[in-house]
Amino acid sequence: MKLGVLISGRGSHLKNLMDRCARGEISASVTVVISNNPDAPGLRFPREAEIETVAFSHKQFSTREEYDAGIVDHLKRHDIDLVCLAGFMRLLSPVLIRAFPQRIMNVHPSLLPAFPGLHAQKQAIDYGAKITGVTVHFVDEGLDSGPIILQKMMEVRPDDTADTLADRLLPLEHQTYGEAVKLFCEKRLKIDGRKVLIL
């Protein structure tokens, strides 16, 4: 299987997926990495591995739809099987989502539907949540509202801050995202309405 990964920043999720593919844990390869930030630190990982990178700013486009059409063009050119959002800090338009129906995956640092959107860790702290976690889901046209693939829990400690909680959640995000991508590549996921069944 061919993975297309979209990033905006440091690329820790991208590196996690690259490493799992290289070790044979995921029967796929990261084929192209696309960033809306030409200066994203995470672009160094695919460049060092001689994986094609595409970096173009959304500021060059007048609409989100035009920008996403450019992304679709690059992904289609590489016959991408699964699109992985890895810290891609942009809402996707229907242009991109409809081009890869049920083939775009994202990881979110909360137990959705709780605390969608930005700053999920801070939302959990501010709400006084005792338990939070991570969710890997398929992307639909809503905000963090697509069918849930996997979820894992973590206790919120009384002394946690948004930053310490984010740091503790990140390894769990990496683990859960890797497992979900592996299941997809093994063709073990079936979507039935809002439910994702693991075969």
> Residue 108 catalytic?
yes
Residue with tokens 């990964």: 5
Taking the C-alpha atoms of residue 146 and residue 101, their distance in angstroms, rounded to an integer, is 11
| Pure H helices in the chain | 12-22, 44-48, 64-77, 94-99, 120-127, 162-185
Residues facing residue 105 across a β-bridge: 84, 138
Q: Is 45 helix (H, G, I), strand (E, B) or coil?
A: helix
Question: Which residue is catalytic, options 108, 119, 137, 174?
Answer: 108
Question: Looking at the annotation, which residues are catalytic?
Answer: 108
